[in-house]
Amino acid sequence: MAPYDSDLTELFTDAFFARAHRADTPSPASPYLGLRHLQSRLGAQRPLLADHARLRAVLELSAVTDPRLFFAMFLHHCMAVGVALDFGAPPEDVADLASGRWIGAALMNEIGHGNSSSAIRTRAVFDPAAREFVLHTPTPEATKRPVNVGLDGFARLAVVSALLRAGGADRGTALFLVPLRDEDGPCEGVTIEPLAPTPLLPMDYAKVRFDQVRVPYRRWLSDGASIAADGSFHDPLDGPEARTGRSVGMSRFAWGAVTAGLAAVARASAALALTHARHRRTNDRLAGDIAAIAHLNQQRLLFGASADALATTAVARRATARSWHIPPGGGLGTGPSAAEMRTLALSKVTVAVLTDRAVSRCRTACGALGFFSEHQLIDYQALTTAFQSAGGDNRLILLDAAWAMVTAADYLPPDEESAPSGWPRLFRARERLLHAELASALRTDDQGGAVRFESWNARTELAQRLAEAHATRTTAEALRDVWCAAEVPEAARPVLHDLYRLHCLEQTAPHAGWYLAHGMLVPQQVLALPERINKICRRLVPHVEALTELLEIPAELLRVP
C-alpha cells in the first residue's frame, strides 16, 4: 500500500474540517459543504474518476474523516459522474457535475420492491412530437426511496432509473439525468418528502415522486441506443432484458467506492484502537499496572481486527480499477462480463463483512469510548451497518452468486490439487465440496430441466455458505499474492505473514466441525486452533508500532483518546 500524498493529508486536516470536528451537533449541510470545499481545493475541473488512484485516496480519506462526507462523495463522483460518463451524458452536464455546480444523486430503489433494481415501476414515456421523455411515478409503490436529497439550498442532478416506453413497446430499464432541485427548492413536477431523521449515518434522506416531468432527449443516458425521427427504436443490446441488466450494472461504480471507503475505516479503526491499547494503562489484579495491549483478550481483538482490515484493503484495491473502468467515449452498451460483475459484487460483500467485524472488535477493545462519536468508531460502525443493504443487499448478492455458480457456464469449481499446500488448498476443497452438494441437490429435484422455486428456496442457506466459501478462498489467495510480492519490504514480511496466518485461522475456526466431518482436519488440529491463534498474537505484541504503520492511516486524522 502506498502512503497518501502530503497535500491530501493536509487538505483533510485544514481549518474547514477542524471546525466541523469541533461542532457539538453536525450540520445536515456539512457533507455537501465538505464536498464543494474539497472540489475547490483540489482545483480539478475534469472528473476525479479520470484518476483512479487519486479518487480512491480522496474517498478513503473522506471515509476516515467523516462517513457522511464519504457517503455524499461516492454518490456524487461515482454513482452520478461515473454513470454519466459511462452512459454518454452531454459534456456540459458532466462538466457541471465535475465542477460541483450540481451535486449528484442516484435514484434506483423504489418502495414497493425494496432493494430490487430490476423491477422498476417509474415510467419514462417517449413523446415523439416534442422529442422528450415524460417521467412519471404511477403508484405509491414506485416512489424512489431512500435518497439523500432532502436538504434545501443545493442544486441536485440525479441519475434516475425508469422503465422506458417508446414506439408503443417497453424497452427495459433506462437511465436519465434529471434535475431534482435548485437552490430555491424542488423542480417542477418533482415532489421531495423528507424522511424522519435516523441516528445512524444521518443524512437528508427523502422519498421522491415525479409528476409528468419533462426530460430532454439529450438527458437520456442512451448508452448507444437511439430513437429516429420516424419513431423507430434502436438499441445495440439484445432486447429489454439486456438493457435492464446494463442499467442495473451501474452499481459497479458504487462497489469500487464502497470497498475503498470501508477498507479505509477498517484500517483507521484498527490504528486508533491499537494506539489506544498501547498507551492505556490497566490495573490488573495479578500483574498490577500494565498496558492494555499486554492482555491476550485485547490482542485477540485488535490483531484480528488488523488482519481483517488489511484483508479488506487487498480485496478493495483489486476491485477499484475494474469497477471504475470506462472505455474512451463511454461504455456504449458494454461493461464488465457477468463473471466480473459477480466478482465485484462479492468484493463488496467481503469487505463489508470483514470491516463490520473489525470495527466491532475495535469498539469492544476500547470499552465505553467505542460508543461515542468523539472518537468516530461508532460512526464507522454506522457506515458498515448501512452497507449491509446499501449498494446491494449482501444476502441477495451471495445468493445471486451461488445461483450463477451452479447454473452458469462461466464458473468452474476450484481444483485444490493445483493449489499450494496449506490454507489455499483447504479453502478450495471446502468451496468445491459445497458446490458439489448444492449442484447435486438441485439436480435431484430437477423437473424438466428447470430448477423449481421450492428446491432452491429450501437450499438458500447452503447456497449462501457456498458463496461465502468462494469469497473466503479468493480473499486468502489475494492476501497471499499481495503480501508475498517482491516489492513488499523485507522488514514487513514477518508481520504480514503472521497476519495472513491469523486471518486464515479465523476463517477456519467457525467451520472446524465441517472440516472435521469431511476428514480435512483431525481432532488434534481442531483442538489446537485457539492456541495457534494465541501464539501468533503473542508473537505480534513487540511489533504493534510497526503494525500500526502498516495500516497507513495519517496520525493527524485519528481521534485517539
Q: List the domain boundaries for the chain.
A: 395-542
Q: Which residue has the higher pLDDT, 126 or 448?
A: 126
Q: What is the mean pLDDT of residues 482-509?
A: 91
pLDDT score, position 285: 86
Q: What is the mean pLDDT of residues 45-72?
A: 94
Q: What is the mean pLDDT of residues 22-28?
A: 74
For 203-248, the pLDDT digits (tens) are: 999 999 999 999 999 999 999 999 999 999 999 999 999 999 999 9
By three-state DSSP, how is residue 482 classified?
helix
Q: Which residue has the higher pLDDT, 478 or 321?
A: 478
pLDDT score, position 115: 52
pLDDT score, position 418: 76
pLDDT score, position 486: 79
Q: What is the mean pLDDT of residues 473-483?
A: 90
Q: What is the mean pLDDT of residues 425-436?
A: 96
SS3 of 505-527 = HHHHHHHHHHHHHCCCCCHHHHH
pLDDT score, position 450: 78
The DSSP secondary structure of 236-294, one letter per residue, reads: SSSSHHHHHHHHHTTHHHHHHHHHHHHHHHHHHHHHHHHHHHHH-EEEETTTEEEEGGG
Residue 287 has a CB neighbour count (10 Å cut-off) of 10
Question: What's the CA angle centered on 359, arms 356 and 360, to 5 degrees?
Answer: 80
pLDDT score, position 114: 57
pLDDT score, position 44: 67
Q: First and final CA of the chain: distance in angstroms?
A: 26
pLDDT band at 1 (very low <50, low <70, confident <90, very high): very low
Residue 346 has pLDDT above 80, yes or no: yes
Q: Of 31-45, 97-111, 408-422, which range is least confident? A: 408-422
Which residues, in sequence order, are bridge partners of residue 174?
162
Q: What is the mean pLDDT of residues 411-423?
A: 84
For 174-205, the pLDDT digits (tens) are: 999 999 999 999 999 999 999 998 888 999 99
pLDDT score, position 378: 96
pLDDT score, position 186: 97
Residue 395 has pLDDT above 90, yes or no: yes
How far apart are alpha carbons 83 and 88 in whole angstroms? 8
- For the record, the C-alpha cell of 526 comes out as 481442531
Architecture of domain 395-542: Up-down Bundle (1.20)
Q: What is the mean pLDDT of residues 65-91?
A: 96
Largest Cα span, the chain: 87
Verdict on whether the full-model pTM lies above 0.85: yes
Measured in degrees and rounded to the nearest 5, phi and psi for residue 156 equal -125, 130
pLDDT score, position 533: 98
| 146 preceded by a cis bond (ω within 30 of 0) | yes
In contact, 104 and 80? CB cutoff 8 Å: yes
